Amino acid sequence: MTTTIEHKSYARVGLLGNPSDVYYGRTISFSLANFWAIVRLEPSDDLIIQPHHFHDLVRFKSISQLVNRLESEGYYGGVRLLMAICKVFQKYCNENNIELKSGNFTLHYDTNIPRQTGLSGSSAIVSAALNCLLDFYNVRHLIKVEVRPNLILSAEKELGIVAGLQDRVAQVYGGLVYMDFSKEHMDKLGHGIYTPMDTSLLPPLHLIYAENPSDSGKVHSNVRKRWLDGEEFIISSMKEVANLALEGRSALLEENYTKFAELINRNFDLRRLMFGDDALGSMNIDMVTVARKVGAASKFTGSGGAVVVYCPEGPSQVKLLEDACKEAGFIIQPVEISQLQRVQEL
C-alpha cells in the first residue's frame, strides 16, 4: 500500500448534561467545525511517530524560552497520544481475533484546537489517528462504531487523562448527538446508546474562550470521589444534570428555545454548586458571567476554558456580547457545526 491516508476530527462542545457522562447520565454534544486535528498516515519501512514542529518542541534558544514554553503550553504534545492509540488499537485487535496485516507507517499530526479550552483537543488527535489505523489495516468493518469512542478513551486513560465518553462519541459520529450512558446500557453493552440528531434543530450559537485558559483536567476529581462515597447532594444533582439533556432533546425537537436557554443556564448553575468556584476558576466563571450580563444563556463547553452561548434575542444581543467580550479580553466567534459522518464513512 502506497496511498497516504488522512483524517480530520473536530473539537467538541458539550451542550447539555455534562459532566454526567462519567456518572451514568445523559448528554447532548456536537462536533465543532471551527477547530480540528488532522492525522496523516504514510506507509514506511519503519513505524515512525513524527513529532510536531511546534507542539512537540524539544529545541530551544535558551533555558528561559524552555521555561516560558512549559508554563504556557505544558509538558505534553501529541506524540504520546499517537503512541497510546497504536497500543490500544493493537491490543483490542489481538483480544478480538482481528488479524492485522504486516507493514509499517509514519504518523504525522497537526491541530488548531486551542489548548486547555475544554474542547477535547487531545481526543481529536486520537480520534483522527484511530481512523487512519482502521483504514491502513482495512478493519473498519470489524470494529463497531459504538466501540470506537471506548478505544479513544482507553488511549487517553493510558496517559492519565481524566475524561468521559461523550467527547469521543461526538468526534466519532460527527454532528449533533444525544447520548444515554445509563448503568444498564454500560453494564450490558460496554457503551451507551447514541442517537444522532438533526443539526438544523440548533439555534445560532457562539463560542467564548480565553487565550490563556485553566487546565480542564483537574476539575472532575473531587466531585468524582464524593459521588463514589455516596454523597446525596452530588448524586441527586448529577441526576438532575443528566435530565437536562433529556429535557433539552425534547426542547430542540419542539423548537422551544426559551426552554433550551433555561436548561443551558441550569446546567452551569448545577455544576457550580457541585464543584465550587475555586475548582471552576475565576476566569472560567467570568466568561459565563459576561454572557449572562447581556441576557444570553451560557455554560462550559467541557470542564472549563471555553463557554457556549445562546443569544435568544438575536443579532442585537450578539453585538452586545461581542462588545462585552472585547472589553473583558475574551475571544468570541460564531459556532460552526460539523455534519454527521456518512454511514459508509463510519
- Confidence band (pLDDT; 50, 70, 90) for 232? very high
Mean pLDDT in residue range 258-275: 97
- Note whether 158 and 177 are within 8 A (CB): no
Distance of alpha carbon 237 from alpha carbon 263, whole angstroms:
14
Quick check: 4 pLDDT over 60? yes
Quick check: 149 pLDDT over 80? yes
- Among 72-86, 218-232, 247-261, 303-317, whose mean pLDDT is lowest? 218-232
- Confidence band (pLDDT; 50, 70, 90) for 160? confident
244 burial via Cβ count (<10 Å: 0-12, 13-18, 19+): buried
Cell numbers at 112, concatenated = 488548531
Quick check: 58 pLDDT over 90? no
Quick check: 215 pLDDT over 50? no
Q: Give the β-pairing of 104-111 and 297-300.
A: unpaired
DSSP 51: P
Output the CA–CA distances (angstroms, integers) from residue 251 to 30, 262, 264, in the order listed: 16, 10, 11
Please give the pLDDT value at position 1: 55
- Among 67-71, 92-96, 335-339, whose mean pLDDT is lowest? 67-71
- Note whether 277 and 288 are within 8 A (CB): no
- Confidence band (pLDDT; 50, 70, 90) for 134? very high
- Among 70-79, 176-185, 293-302, 327-336, whose mean pLDDT is lowest? 70-79
Distance of alpha carbon 140 from alpha carbon 62, whole angstroms:
46
Say whether 40 sits in a helix, a strand or coil.
Answer: strand
DSSP 337: B
Distance of alpha carbon 201 from alpha carbon 196, whole angstroms:
12
Cell numbers at 96, concatenated = 478480538
- Note whether 216 and 304 are within 8 A (CB): yes
More confident residue, 248 or 2: 248
Distance of alpha carbon 240 from alpha carbon 274, whole angstroms:
12
Quick check: 218 pLDDT over 70? no
The residues annotated as belonging to the active site are 167
Hey, what domains does the chain have and what are their CATH numbers? 5-198 (3.30.230.10), 201-334 (3.30.70.890)
Please give the pLDDT value at position 345: 57
- Note whether 264 and 203 are within 8 A (CB): no
Prior bond of 19 cis (ω within 30°) = yes
Of the CA atoms within 13 Å of residue 34, those in its CB half-sphere come to 20
Distance of alpha carbon 337 from alpha carbon 322, whole angstroms:
20
Mean pLDDT, rounded, of the chain: 92
Closest CA to 181 of 173, 172, 190: 190
